[in-house]
Structure 1
Amino acid sequence: MKTLNVSRKVLVTGVCAVAVAGAALVYGPDLFDDGPEPLPGPAGRAMTAVTAGAPAALPDLVALIGDRRTWLREHPGDEASWAVLGAAYTERGTRFAEAEDFPRAERALRKSLAVLPAKRGNVDAQLGLAALANARGDFARGRAWGERVRKEAPKRWAAYPVLIDAYKGLGDYQAAQKAMTALEGLHSGAAVLDRAAQMYRDRGWREDAGAAALEAAAYAGSPVQKAACLHRLGELAWERGEPAEAVAQYTAALRLAPAHGPALAGRARALGALGRTAEAFRDYRAALAATPLPEYALEAGELYEAEGLDGDAATQFETLRARATEAGAQGVNGELTLARFETDHGEPDEGVRRLKAEWARGHRSMEVADALAWALYRTGEAEEALPYAKRVTDEGRRSALFAYHRGEIERTLGEYGAARRHIGEALRINPYFSPLLAPKAKEALAALGDPPEGGPKDMEDARRAREAAAAAEAARAAEAARAANAAKAVTPAKPAKPAPARKPGGAARP
């Protein structure tokens, strides 16, 4: 196969959605101006399939990495190809949990900047570094690189997906929405529609999210991209509490991409909810083989624990620790998953420590705020936990887990009406949301009992009656205090007893 030549006018970036989506390479129309047109093949498909931000198939991605490395041995001054190589490593590292690819990506992107510095217009390498930072969970750095590119090239649409990921990781959802609006004004297609679906979901607009995801699947230009869109539909169905529909969407995705890790893990979760645990464990094993992310090991371990298989659960939790440690050595921030594990299965104090450190770093996403609220609750700090839980649910996302966590915190604080409302909401959103926590939610709701007859009106009347009774009691106490003080003021004082007379010489008379 001919070595693929790349023009210096090529446009490259990485687009990373937290935890599951990889970086994408974005190329301009002058792709092959400086060399012969490439022969059809895996490397060519990887170069062209992702023009609209779509993922490339793993074999094609591997071919592209090999092709660029071969080219660069003879053309080390081609900064665009270094940027291509760096972004390809980032995509492979993110989508397939190959954390060792991230240092390779950084070396390639830094080499691109050494050949053509950022101040001389090397936007491609800067976008690649932004995507790499997001993939590692360093959202402040991702934002810094992304905003630098936006300032230099505001019409470069590929900067906006990177910024959306960074803003969401930092909990700045207003900025993420503004970046989304800018993206929609500059570009269209399946990648943009998928982003829109995620934004709608975060705002609690489930019908809009479903419609955008469905449209994205219709516009998908490759089997891998269509599989990613079908996975999104499966996630939305799962969050609505429809595990059978979720299984159908995940299965459709896996027909197109049999080793799609997120779809395998999603189907395992939904199968567990349907009681098909043997199939669920099979899919978790396949997901961890394809994409060995620590969060998949945590999910699998919790399902094993719910089934009373504590030994298997412990094995999964050890896998989680090992994978998080390996990824951390490559610069990947796995604190959220580790903290969640510690909170529910290890040392809750350690979970609080990790999450407070994340919060101090500016990582204030809904996921971090929820995990911190729950960790504080687990350490007996419910009052400190409640503001974080409120912050999460007030963002709008319809999450059963978020609602349940808030409800349990409120129940501990004696706010029984609010607790009943939020725990009930969790079970209405998705009665299967966790193999360990959903049964506890049902028990908590039963313990809270039914609200007063008549619903919210009677509850409000009861609250007002309690407040009125307390006010009346306080008024009676104040009145009694005033009466006592007044009585003391008008009662005549007793005359003093005269001192006994004294005899001459000083002795008192008997």
Structure 2
Amino acid sequence: MSAVVVGVVFLVAAVGAFYTATVDDGVAAEQAQGPTVDPFTASIENAQQRLREVPGDYTTWAQLGTAYVEQARVTADPTYYDKADGALRESLTLRPEGNDAALTGQGALANARHDFAAAAELATQALAVNEYNSTAWGVLTDARTQLGDYAGATEALGRMLELKPGLASFTRASYDAELHGDLAGARSALEQALETTQGGAGEAFCRTYLGALAFSTGDLDEAAAQYTAGLEAAPGDPALLLGLARVDAARGDVDAAVEGFRTVVNAQPLPEHLVEFGAYLESQGRAEEAEQQFALVDTVRALFAANGASDDLTTALFAADHGDPAEALAAAQAEFDRRQNIDSHDALAWALHAAGRDTEALPHAQQATALGGASALFLYHRGVIEAALGQGDQARATLVSALDANPYFSPLHAPRAEALLESLGGRP
């Protein structure tokens, strides 16, 4: 969601990508056995046991592959991608025709690897087999969102909601509403999703994004309340701890923020988590500690690349922020060539700005903020570019919009936005 300060979450194409049919089964097992049971591990173990007994069960092979995709997200271990790929291929080997479950799983895997065009194609193939497959509609929703086909994503989401209103569809509805600037609708959809859960992973997921939604509007108290409630349902959940670290950082509680960020990167050493922690340390003048986090980014990124996943978006933003415009442009252009959505427009705009090409950057910055739910970070980027082009009045208005949306949007860039605004004459 828009509370994420740097890049996109590496393993999740969209907020609604969390749940699939297989994972719902795991959550059901968790709720039956108690909150100490990891639903993803439960799904995997149940599938593996079934396949030891019935190795030709193509449906269970598909479920196992999908569970591996989710386990990769939870553990930040990309080696699960190859396991997922193998299980899904086995399912299709056993049942090459009419196997919408395996095609849907492959679509989810493609989304996780950021191959969104392939994900859309696989979801479409699955729906050609079974147009009532709500999970396939969800995969298609995610892929279209990331490809910048927002109207198509809303259409696919509507079909999913008709077929299976519940946790997976309501969370996607929330993200769709937020993208279009309907924050009340986004909150309402998450509250509906929360009503379908019974604690554990489902509640933690909903509260993670209720907290993120509150944080994105600068409501620190509500964000903290949601994250804290989520941790009661799922103690130690890294996404919730990350949210609390952001709140602590915004409140100026440096020790708590550093401890929180450190816990998150130890549990989930994803590139965007390492970059965010490093950026926070950098904002506190702790450059040497920041570099220690940044030094790990390339290693982790290489591990994901070796398992078929790419993240040029985070690379572009990081390079643009840290004085490497050539790398920023190369990564941003590569991402933009794959998909033209608001995230890639923003990254390309910021990379072009870093390279001193603000005239080219501005149309991309305008596209990044045109959908209705523009993030404070995107608005800040646009305001900086407008200021660089001598559009003082417009830059002031844009920077005010960024800071009014969320004065805590970035520990590095929010103070810079304030300083730039003052240099331009302050608020209109």
* TM, length-normalised to structure 1: 0.77
Alignment correspondent of 1:486: none
Correspondent of 1:269 among 246, 266, 270: 246
Gap runs ≥5 in structure 1: 1-15, 28-42, 456-510
**Shift in Å, 1:57:** 7.5
Within 5 Å, which residues of 2 pair with 1:111-510? 111-117=90-96, 120-361=97-338, 363-449=339-425
From the CA coordinates, give the structure whose radius of gyration is larger.
Answer: 1
The one-letter amino acid paired with 1:254 is: L
Contact 1:25 1:84 in 2 (8 A): no
**Aligned positions, number:** 415
Which SS does the other structure have where 1:61 is aligned? helix
Alignment correspondent of 2:6: none
> What is the alpha-carbon distance in structure 2 between the residues aligned to residue 388 and residue 248 of structure 1?
36
Task: Render the CA deviation track for 1:215-235: whole Å, top value 9, x for unaligned.
Answer: 222222342101111111110
More displaced 10-residue stretch of structure 1: 398-407 or 122-131: 398-407
Residue identity over aligned pairs, in percent, reads: 37
Contact 2:224 2:247 in 1 (8 A): yes
Contact 1:21 1:95 in 2 (8 A): no
Within 5 Å, which residues of 2 pair with 1:6-155? 17-18=12-13, 24-26=19-21, 46=26, 48=28, 59-117=38-96, 120-155=97-132
The one-letter amino acid paired with 1:289 is: N
Contact 2:30 2:36 in 1 (8 A): no
> What is the alpha-carbon distance in structure 2 between the residues aligned to residue 401 and residue 112 of structure 1?
43
The one-letter amino acid paired with 2:404 is: R
Contact 1:96 1:292 in 2 (8 A): no
Task: Render the CA deviation track for 1:191-241: whole Å, top value 9, x for unaligned.
Answer: 222111111100011121112222222222342101111111110111101
| Alpha carbons of structure 1 residues 417 and 57: separation in structure 2 relative to 1, 3 Å | farther
Which SS does the other structure have where 2:134 is aligned? coil
> What is the alpha-carbon distance in structure 2 between the residues aligned to residue 107 and residue 138 of structure 1?
17
**Shift in Å, 1:19:** 6.7
> What is the alpha-carbon distance in structure 2 between the residues aligned to residue 229 and residue 44 of structure 1?
14
The one-letter amino acid paired with 1:322 is: T
Which SS does the other structure have where 1:241 is aligned? coil
* TM, length-normalised to structure 2: 0.92
Alignment correspondent of 1:13: none
The one-letter amino acid paired with 2:402 is: A
> What is the alpha-carbon distance in structure 2 between the residues aligned to residue 153 and residue 258 of structure 1?
38
Task: Render the CA deviation track for 1:157-189: whole Å, top value 9, x for unaligned.
Answer: 111110111011111111111111111222212
Contact 1:295 1:337 in 2 (8 A): yes
**Shift in Å, 1:380:** 0.1
Contact 1:49 1:221 in 2 (8 A): no
Contact 2:29 2:39 in 1 (8 A): no
> What is the alpha-carbon distance in structure 1 between the residues aligned to residue 17 and residue 171 of structure 2?
13
> What is the alpha-carbon distance in structure 1 between the residues aligned to residue 332 and residue 320 of structure 2?
10
Contact 1:23 1:88 in 2 (8 A): no
Task: Render the CA deviation track for 1:418-450: whole Å, top value 9, x for unaligned.
Answer: 111101111111111111111111111111115
Task: Render the CA deviation track for 1:234-256: whole Å, top value 9, x for unaligned.
Answer: 10111101223212211111121
> What is the alpha-carbon distance in structure 2 between the residues aligned to residue 47 and residue 420 of structure 1?
48
**Shift in Å, 1:22:** 5.6
Which SS does the other structure have where 1:326 is aligned? helix
The one-letter amino acid paired with 1:408 is: V
| Alpha carbons of structure 1 residues 346 and 448: separation in structure 2 relative to 1, 3 Å | closer
> What is the alpha-carbon distance in structure 1 between the residues aligned to residue 42 and residue 191 of structure 2?
31
| Alpha carbons of structure 1 residues 49 and 178: separation in structure 2 relative to 1, 3 Å | farther
The one-letter amino acid paired with 1:165 is: D
The one-letter amino acid paired with 1:251 is: T
Contact 1:160 1:179 in 2 (8 A): yes
Which SS does the other structure have where 2:148 is aligned? coil
Contact 2:278 2:294 in 1 (8 A): yes
Task: Render the CA deviation track for 1:252-286: whole Å, top value 9, x for unaligned.
Answer: 11121123222111211121010011111111122
More displaced 10-residue stretch of structure 1: 16-25 or 278-287: 16-25
**Shift in Å, 1:345:** 1.7
> What is the alpha-carbon distance in structure 2 between the residues aligned to residue 101 and residue 329 of structure 1?
12
More displaced 10-residue stretch of structure 1: 260-269 or 399-408: 260-269
**Shift in Å, 1:292:** 2.0
Alignment correspondent of 1:36: none
Higher RCO by CA contacts (8 Å cutoff, separation 6 or greater): 2
Task: Render the CA deviation track for 1:25-62: whole Å, top value 9, x for unaligned.
Answer: 426xxxxxxxxxxxxxxx996274599xxxx9863422
Which SS does the other structure have where 2:38 is aligned? helix
Structure whose residues are more often helix by fraction: 2
> What is the alpha-carbon distance in structure 1 between the residues aligned to residue 64 and residue 51 of structure 2?
9
